[in-house]
Amino acid sequence: MIKELEYRTFDELLDSVKLDFETYDIENMISNQTLIKIAQKINKELGLKLNPSKTKILDLRKGKAKLPSDLYVLNFALRCGEEYSYEIMNFPQAYGTYQQGVEEGTRQATVDLLARMVKQYTVVMDIEPGSNVVTHNLGTTNVVIQAVGPTGNILTFDVNITNSNQIRIISESDVTQSNIKVIVLGSNSSYGVYCPPPGTLACPAEPEIISVENTTSCPTLTCNTSGCDTVAYTDNNNYKKYNVLYQFRLLDNKSTTVDEFNMTSLHNDMATVKNGYLVTNLDEATVLINYQGQMEDEDGNLLVLDDPLVNEYYEYALKKRICENLIANGEQVINLYNLINNELRKAKIDAHHYVRTPGFKTLLKTWRMNRQAMHVKYYNAFKS
């Protein structure tokens, strides 16, 4: 299992150091700007192994493409050749969470059920001469009204539908008719949809719609024992996959100019880095690059390695420079300076041993190369 390197910003490192110099920090005797170069020097000293490895897709136009601003060392470049296949999957422009989807499905099922239901409201009331208000709360104006007398006879009245929850029964009789059963049947099927006032169980508040912005994800390179064969990434909400990759031969622009490509090379595709651009002998192409980035985060803050075996080296180096500045300002900290200087030597040795110790994969690769070399030297020599 390979452990990914962890980092912390220079400000976090400095806050840890200032805890041991609290008095001088309160008196503003610690200059932050003079300490940044110490952390930068240690990053360089510990080597390229610390720098984060990154992958990016570039679109080559007119023979060149702008390289990332945080590029430090270019490891390799692969061209997605003409004979490639790609799959495009359009992502939806809006989506909700899983719970929102469940709630929306439940609401829609309730809507469909209620839209096909015939609801009934029954009330026994006295019908007085003139207008009589009946509030049924069925939530629809598509209603059928029936009035039944005490003996079971059907009565006839004029009816006005006031709104979706109320009707008016108009009686032209001069006397009050008692114990009249009024039956209101309501249905929403004629409207096709049903939705009571927002906030009820059948029609909750509208779920929040989250917009999906056009994003470009980091490309994923798939490799096997014979080499890397596919690359997949998303660009502008499209999923793309290239199945044929060709390796660029990277030229050193110190010995060869950009216009002087070696046409006898086994690699037809050649590239070099010049003035922040990847310059090639091709006109247009899609290129995947792998590089070691600068020791900085997305906001440009300086990063340092965060590991228990290395942290003391950073901290003691900063403490030593702080003591040097304090001594220059007349502070009596010579004993503290000598103590920190001794601890710094030990921390430096531990940090260098940790960084330079090869990992298991490196040791395994070296062992395999040695076995192959010995096989060629002592066994293949007698084949002929």
| Residue 8 CA neighbour count, 13 Å, CB half | 14
pLDDT exceeds 90 at position 320:
yes
Amino acid 202: pLDDT: 43
> Tokens representing 169?
């029964």
Give the residue-averaged pLDDT of 14-43.
89
Q: Which residue has the higher pLDDT, 244 or 43?
A: 43
H-assigned helices in 213-333: 308-328
Give the residue-averaged pLDDT of 322-338.
91
Cα–Cα distance for residue pair 285/60, rounded to 1 Å: 5
Q: Residue 170 is inside which H or E element, if any?
A: strand 166-171
8 A C-beta contact, residue 234 and residue 217: yes
**Averaged pLDDT of the chain:** 78
107-147 pLDDT, tens digit per residue, is 777 666 666 667 788 889 998 888 899 988 887 788 888 88
Cα–Cα distance for residue pair 78/274, rounded to 1 Å: 18
291-306 pLDDT, tens digit per residue, is 999 998 888 899 999 9
Q: Which residue has the higher pLDDT, 99 or 51?
A: 51
Report the candidate in 123, 134, 189 with the shortest Cα–Cα distance to residue 163: 134
Cα–Cα distance for residue pair 197/189, rounded to 1 Å: 18
Amino acid 113: pLDDT: 65
Give the residue-averaged pLDDT of 46-52.
88
Give the residue-averaged pLDDT of 193-213.
43
Give the residue-averaged pLDDT of 5-34.
88
Q: Find tokens 């220059």 and name the residue.
A: 328
Sorted by where each starts, the structural domains of the chain and their CATH numbers stand as: 1-50+298-384 (no CATH), 53-90+231-294 (no CATH), 118-187 (2.40.30)
